[in-house]
Structure 1
Amino acid sequence: MPTCLFAHPGAELFGSDRMLLESVVAAREQGWRCVVALPEHGPLVDALRGAGATIVIAPSLVLRKALLRPSGWPALVRSTLRGTAAAWRIVARARPDAVYVNTITIPLWPVVARLRGVPSISHVHEAEASGSRLVNALLYAPHLLSRGVLANSAFSLRTIAASLPALARRAVVVANGVAAPADPAPPRARLDGPLRVLYLGRLSPRKGPQVLVAAARLLRERGVAAHVGLLGSPFAGYEWFEDELRASVREAGLGDAVAFHGFHDDVWAFVDACDVLVVPSTIDEPFGNTAVEGILALRPVVASDTSGLREAAGGYPTATLVPPGDATALADALARVVERWDEVVSGVAASAAQAQRRHAPAAYRATVSEALRAAAQAAAPRGRAGA
């Protein structure tokens, strides 16, 4: 049985976390033994164990913006030293045939894999076209050492090409596999009562929940009844943003119209209870799993017209794209959902069928499996990996 060592920067259940889980399932289906290295415990751990993976919790260098500032350099050095030692030990013990590096924020793993003589695969889930090309090139550079490179969208691939063409030439786009709910509840036949709007994702400025809160205020001023649910939690260290968001809700007098649900592993009950899903990101997104999930769940979606979200939500009759950061445009789009409700309800099934064809988990797993097979063919002798 060949062994794949997966490396990932967190243990939550957001976009790239769920794609790691899908990649592990793909490997297990092909008979691989899977070992997953994580820097912390979290809900992803139980999900991975349920898929048949072995979990190793160990220090890891995870690149965050705070570490790249001068004040963060001492912590960057410490994390680099501890992460390198931990990765070296894990590779020695696991004796993998391949190392699967999930995201570019853990740059030590391709380096350690190359030094240990183990072929690696890098899966790129990040893309900021508006960021510095030099910084992007530095972030992507360690992944030149990988045997294969997967990108989660054409937008991500274009961003790589603009910063590091040599890496882009070796990359393959693999559309995220997004699982549909087993039995999605149909949308309400009639909108009796307020429009139920759901935000699903990180509570962070770049994800745009503040734009949705502002749009809810505008809707109230227009006499359009709406109730907003915010399903998610902030990154550690970003609790201040949730505090600011709650304060803005109070100041706008929206305490009865905005609910903070916190983080939940299983989101489908919340999606079933909503009328429309909103993805209001304010800056580049490499993709938008949440938008696809909303469409698969038979719900209309309003998303920002930017970057990878265009790939995720574009081309569906029940999805609307609006300028990012524009609360007025978002409020207008939600008001149109109310006005066109009968038309929306009649189109959700066709949109869901289209999304199932575009983002079938089986197709995603087949691409990942092929990348693993290619890596296995290039694998060094087992003794070298554990030397």
Structure 2
Amino acid sequence: HVRGQRDAGGSLSLFYRLPHHLLAVSHWVAGEIVGLGIPAERVEVVYDGIELERMDPAADGMAWRRVHDLPEDGFVVGLVGLLIPWKGQQLLLDAAPRLFVALPDLHLVFAGGTPAECAGYEAELRDRVRREGLEERVHFLGHVAEMAALYNGLDVVLSCSTAPEPLGTMVIEAMAMGRPLIGPAYGGAAEMIVAGESGLLFPPGDVAALVAAIVRLHAD
């Protein structure tokens, strides 16, 4: 069962030759496996599921906003995921100046814990927010236990990953909660989101396209 481990020194290529069959969590992961020389007929895609009982559509998103000092009448966009560099928090901060000019009611949320080895990265993000005077509009929530309330408290759920997500569990969770989604047009997000129907896709790393997608959903 393969979730997208990176090949370190060719060891995965050797390991993947041992099983008779490999289950990949997305077509992107399947392509990575085949790219290591594994015959395509030995690879099958089986998407991961989620625990639907944790996704309560009736969860009180407005109460969640009040707990986190977010305005009930604001437009709240959340990047849900660990604070690690490839999740793309810096990309969203690159977009922030244009977004705040275009959308005066916008608030940006980073929801996710920080691994110990990425404490310096979180410090860089917080320092950048302070230097750019964005502390009233950019919010760091850390680990969030009540995911259903989080999703219902967001107007838009965002993925800004700067490397392809093997699957993207938060995309599946957000869709289960009926939340509008924006994600990069590669990896698992591009397989989950039907562009223009269940969400919007933007070219990976394209700040202008990310801004346009958020502004579009604000107007929808």
Q: What's the counterpart of residue 142 of structure 2?
A: 262
| Aligned partner (choices 8, 22, 38) of residue 149 of structure 1 | 22
1:280 equivalent to 2:160? Answer: yes
Question: Secondary structure at 1:183's aligned position in 2?
Answer: coil
Aligned letter for 2:35? A
Q: 1:147 to 1:236 in 2, by over 3 A?
A: farther
Identify the structure with bigger relative contact order (alpha carbons < 8 Å, sequence gap 6+): 2
Q: Distance in 1 between matches of 2:14 and 2:156?
A: 40
Amino acid at match of 1:125: R
CA deviation string 1:335-357 (max 9, x = no partner): 111111xxxxxxxxxxxxxxxxx
**1:105 matched to which residue of 2?**
none
Aligned to 2:213: 333
Match of 2:92 in 1: 212
C-alpha spacing 1:194/1:183, structure 2 compared with 1 (3 Å)? closer
What is the CA distance between 1:262 and its match in structure 2? 0.7
Alignment of 1:65-84 (within 5 A): none
Deviations 1:195-241 (A, max 9, x none): 11111111111111111222222211234321111111222211111
Counterpart of 1:126, as a letter, is G
C-alpha displacement of 1:265 = 3.3
Structure 1 residues 125 and 316, CA gap change in structure 2 (3 angstroms): farther
**Match of 1:200, as an amino acid?**
V
2:45: which partner in 1? 173
1: distance between equivalents of 2:61 and 2:104? 19
Q: Alpha-carbon deviation of 1:150?
A: 1.1
Residue 138 (str. 1) matches residue 16 (str. 2): no
Match of residue 294 from structure 1: 174
Pairs aligned (count): 210
> Is the Cα contact below 8 Å between 1:292 and 1:312 reproduced in 2?
yes
- Partner SS state of residue 117, structure 2: coil
RMSD: 2.5
Q: After the TM superposition, which residues 30-179 of structure 1 pair with which residues of structure 2 at under 5 Å, given as runs?
A: 123-126=1-4, 135=8, 137-166=10-39, 168-179=40-51
Give the aligned partner of residue 239 of structure 1.
119
Distance between the aligned counterparts of 1:313 and 1:127, measured in 2? 23
**Structure 2 Cα separation of the partners of residues 337 and 186 of structure 1:** 22
Return the offset for 1:135.
Answer: 4.7
Quote how far apart the aligned CAs of 1:246 are: 0.6
Say whether residues 1:314 and 2:194 are aligned partners: yes
Q: Structure 1 residue 148: deviation in Å?
A: 3.7
Change (3 A) 1:151 1:288: same
Partners of 2:59 and 2:148 within 8 A in 1: no
Tell me by how many angstroms 1:187 deviates: 8.7
The alignment partner of 1:244 has SS state of helix
8 Å CA contact retained: 1:186, 1:298:
no
What is the alpha-carbon distance in structure 2 between the residues aligned to residue 208 and residue 161 of structure 1? 27
- Structure 1 223/201 Cα, relative in aligned 2: closer, same or farther at 3 Å? closer
In structure 2, distance between residues paired with 1:184 and 1:215: 32
8 Å contact kept, 1:187–1:298:
no
2:61 & 2:195 partners in 1: Cα distance? 20
The answer for unaligned runs of 5 or more in structure 1 is 1-122, 129-133, 341-387
- The SS at the match of 1:145 is coil
Q: Which has the higher helix share?
A: 1
The correspondence for 2:77, drawn from 183, 189, 197, is: 197
User: Aligned residues: percent identity?
Assistant: 29
Q: Secondary structure at the match of 1:165?
A: coil
- Relative to 1, partners in 2 of residues 1:322 and 1:282: Cα closer, same or farther, differing over 3 Å? same
Alpha-carbon distance in 2 for matches of 1:171, 1:144: 11
- Partners of 2:171 and 2:10 in 1: how far apart? 29
Aligned 8 A contact 2:99 2:211 in 1: yes
C-alpha contact (below 8 Å) 1:216/1:226 kept by paired residues:
no
Corresponding residue of 1:33: none
Tell me which structure has the larger Cα radius of gyration: 1
C-alpha change, 1:334 and 1:315, in structure 2 (3 Å) is closer
Find the counterpart in structure 2 of residue 323 from structure 1. 203
Closer, same or farther: CA 305–208 of 1 in aligned 2, 3 Å:
same
Name the residue aligned to 1:86.
Answer: none
